[in-house]
Structure 1
Amino acid sequence: MTTTAFRRGDRRISPVFLGIVAVTAVTGWAVWTGFAEQPGVAVFLFVTGAWVVSLCLHEYAHARTALHSGDLSVGEKGYLTLNPLRYTHALLSIVLPVIFVIMGGIGLPGGAVFIERGRIRGRWRHSLISAAGPLTNVLFAVACTAPFWLDALDGTPGAFRYALAFLALLQVTAALLNFLPVPGLDGYGIIEPWLSYGVRRQVEPLAPFGLLLVFAVLWIPSVNGVFFDVIDTVLRGLGVAPYETYRGQDLYRFWQ
Structure 2
Amino acid sequence: MAADGRSGRRAVGLSPQRIIEASLELLESDGPDKFTFRALGARLGADPTAVYRHFRDKDDLLLAIADELLARTLESFEPAADWRETLRVLCLRMRKVYLAHPHTAVLATVRTTRRPAEMRAVELILSALTQAGFPPDRAVHYYRALVDFALSWSCMAATYAALDAGARSGDESAWGREYALAPAQRYPHLAAAAPYLPEVDEEENFALALDLMLEAIAARAGKFRAEEAGERTPAS
Give the TM interval when normalised to the shorter protein. 0.3 to 0.5
Using the size of structure 1 for normalisation, the TM-score is 0.33
Bigger CA radius of gyration: 2
Q: TM-score, normalised by structure 2?
A: 0.35
